[in-house]
Amino acid sequence: MLRHVQESSVSDGDSVQQHAAAADTVARSMTPDSDDSHQTAVVPVPPLDKTVFESWNEFHEYLHAYQQRTFQIYSIRTGTPVSTRNKRIKDKYSRRGLAVPPGELLPEELVTYSKAVVCTHHGRPRSRAAGVRARQPSRAINCPAQITLVLRRNYTSGKCFVHVSSHTARHNHALSDGQYRRHPMIRKITDPGVLRTVHTLQKANVEPAKILKYVREHTDKEVMLKDVHNMLASFRKSPPASTTTTTARAVPARSVAVVRPPAQLSAPPERPPHFSGRIAPQPSPPAPPPREFLTRYDNFLAAFNIGKEIAELMAEMDSDRFAHCLAELRTFLRILESGRVPVVTTREAIKQRNNGLTSISNTEQTAFRLAAPRSSIPPHSDSGEATNSLISPSQSYPSAQ
């Protein structure tokens, strides 16, 4: 059987081009308003070049790549659990008064025994109208494309594998890259990082149009504005999982720098005889620069841009330097979670910070001054030496009301 499949198969590139050309020909001959066009059209697709998989996850990974390569969209139509299949076998042998032979039952940790994966246009259209909205179009046009899979056991090795028992490799509708990318299932955002960022923008009351621009810039999907509205509505019901809590729990807490109590003031020295009692006027300290009001969206963009620069630099580091920088970033994150303000604790870092303030925009300078500590004196350990970490917590910074 494998020899027959190998002899009849062609290269993926030529096969995809041939089937794409056939699909374009059918699409030109179809009229979108004709109901009979879907019954007569036949669009062949490349067959599966792999029919045996070690697990269901391996099959779904292969199916995902196969869909992208051929512009098809499949969904799971039906499935039979392993427990149901084992129960049927037990009942069959119990009716005969026999014991189940060893190896006849499949391990139930494999969960699924069989699946039927069908095209997104499978089935006949059925009315679900309730008289509230106008007639909604249906994607069901009775497409015959289908993949049937079943779990089998190799009695020689005792291992189970997923086998493709049948594959109907033809559709009754056109297939193209544009239709594939515009499908709602393909437009759906699944990147956890993008989802968490969108949720942060939502909490900052950012307009959906700006969120749409961000999603389009950071994904390769043709997202529409209604997709953003649906995403925001789903976040109101169940926000995306955050990794901040997981990171904080996974990493053991470091000892926070000990806050040294203020030294007791000694008695003032006696005045010399020639002391006149007048204190020389001291120059008044310079007035602090006016603070510019920053929105949560401005804060997010400033922190997000710095985070991207850090990620690009750390991606090229060696393992030792990367581990050290990652530990510093985790310390920075834990200090922020505790309500304190991270401050630099080495002369080199303080010098770089002061030099950097002269080359950044006014908005970023203001954001830095808002988070600047009240004292730039580096904290010391009990031995009097500065800690090894470049950052440490200062006093608790009151949040803006």
Tokens for 196, please give them: 């968490």
Res 24: pLDDT:
47
Helix ranges, 255-346 (H): 296-314, 319-337
For CA atoms 34, 39, 40, 44, give the dihedral sign: positive
DSSP for 147-174? EEEEEEE-TTT--EEEEEEEEE-EESS-
The amino acid occupying position 367 is: A
The amino acid occupying position 124 is: R
- Are the CB atoms for 50 and 12 separated by under 8 Å? no
Q: Distance (Å, rounded) from C-alpha 121 to C-alpha 117?
A: 12
Strands ordered across the beta sheet of 146-153 = 52-53, 160-168, 146-153, 112-119, 74-81
**DSSP H or E stretch at residue 193:** helix 192-203
Q: Collect all residues with Cβ–Cβ distance below 8 Å to 53 and sequence separation of at least 6.
A: 59, 62, 161, 162
Q: Distance (Å, rounded) from C-alpha 341 to C-alpha 297?
A: 20
Q: Distance (Å, rounded) from C-alpha 399 to C-alpha 401?
A: 6
Res 311: pLDDT:
82
Res 372: pLDDT:
44
Backbone angles phi and psi of 326, in degrees to 5: -65, -40
Q: Which long-range contacts (CB under 8 A, 24 or more apart) does 220-225 make?
A: 221/181, 221/186, 221/187, 221/188, 221/189, 222/181, 222/182, 222/187, 223/187, 223/189, 224/187
In 3D, which of 195, 139, 165 has the Cα closest to residue 80? 165
Q: Which long-range contacts (CB under 8 A, 24 or more apart) does 255-259 make?
A: 256/338, 256/393, 257/379, 257/381, 257/387, 257/392, 257/393, 258/379, 258/381, 258/382
Res 59: pLDDT:
92
Neighbours of 294 (CB within 10 A): 16
Q: Distance (Å, rounded) from C-alpha 107 to C-alpha 55?
A: 13
Res 284: pLDDT:
66
- Are the CB atoms for 378 and 346 separated by under 8 Å? yes
- Are the CB atoms for 200 and 307 separated by under 8 Å? no
Res 231: pLDDT:
86
SS3 state of residue 86: helix
**DSSP H or E stretch at residue 118:** strand 112-119
Res 282: pLDDT:
63
Q: Distance (Å, rounded) from C-alpha 21 to C-alpha 176?
A: 10
Q: Distance (Å, rounded) from C-alpha 59 to C-alpha 51?
A: 9
Q: Please list the ranges in the chain whose pLDDT falls under 70.
A: 1-40, 126-138, 242-294, 344-401
φ/ψ region of 353 (left if φ > 0, alpha if ψ in -120 to 50, else beta) reads alpha
Res 53: pLDDT:
92
Q: Distance (Å, rounded) from C-alpha 241 to C-alpha 357?
A: 35
- Torsion, CA 310, CA 247, CA 341, CA 394, rounded to 10: -120
What DSSP character marks residue 255?
P
